[in-house]
Amino acid sequence: MSEVTGMDIAQYSVNKRESVCAFGEELNSSKELTDMFEVKGNVEVLGKYKNSGKTAIAKKDFNIYSSVAKLSPMAWRGISKEAGVHMYTDGSGTLIMNSQFVCYQNANSENCRLVFDRDYEFDELFDGGSYKTENKILEYRTEKGRTKLFYIK
């Protein structure tokens, strides 16, 4: 893994369950793990083990290493932003975009917020409405579980 990421990754053992604090939350493993990995050296620290303080998630250039096996949506979003992704959602839905369309299916909220790399104008193909971003952000309300398909003008 060190060859791929360019980071010094070392194994260490613990005698109790260890969680990771990163991106404003505490990430826990669903299994009792005693063999852990830490990142050493000149890296940007994105997450640390709660008990030991050792580096668990790190960034070097645009490479990111995470010792956490199961990441939350918030952690994935944080890692994506750190890696240079320009479009994301603050929600927990599914977001897909290509050169002509943006499709978003919200999961748990009626308030949708999509963040883009620049401002856009859209025609929504299911409801026929017109939408546009303000300061690279598109916010709208809809029923939970609904899909919007936006055509990029």
* Model pLDDT for residues 4-49, shown as the tens digit of each residue: 788 999 988 777 778 899 999 998 865 665 567 899 999 999 999 9
Instruction: Examine the pLDDT at 85 and tell me if it is beyond 90.
Output: no
In a domain, 122, yes or no: yes
Q: Which residues contact 3 (CB under 8 A, 6 or more apart)?
A: none
CA dihedral 39, 43, 49, 53 (to 10 degrees): 100
Could you tell me if 16 and 60 lie in one domain?
Answer: yes
Q: Using CA atoms, how far apart are residues 23 and 73, in angstroms rounded to an integer?
A: 10
In a domain, 80, yes or no: no
In a domain, 112, yes or no: yes
Domain that holds residue 126: 88-152
Q: Can you give the C-alpha Rg of the chain in angstroms? A: 19
Q: Which of 11-15, 57-61, 103-107 has the lowest mean pLDDT?
A: 11-15
Domain-ending residue, one of 41, 71, 101: 71
- Terminal Cα-to-Cα distance of the chain (whole angstroms): 43
Contact indicator for 48, 37 with CB cutoff of 8 Å: no
DSSP state of 5: H
Instruction: Examine the pLDDT at 60 and tell me if it is beyond 70.
Output: yes
SS3 content of the chain, % helix, strand, coil (to 5): 10, 45, 45
Q: Using CA atoms, how far apart are residues 82 and 22, in angstroms rounded to an integer?
A: 12
What is the sign, positive or negative, of the torsion defined by CA atoms of 70, 78, 132, 140? positive
Could you tell me if 67 and 99 lie in one domain?
Answer: no
What is the sign, positive or negative, of the torsion defined by CA atoms of 90, 91, 92, 98? negative
- Token couple for 96: 């897909």
Could you give the percent of the chain with pLDDT greater than 90? 35
Could you tell me if 66 and 95 lie in one domain?
Answer: no
Helices (H), 39-82: 73-82
Instruction: Examine the pLDDT at 86 and tell me if it is beyond 70.
Output: no
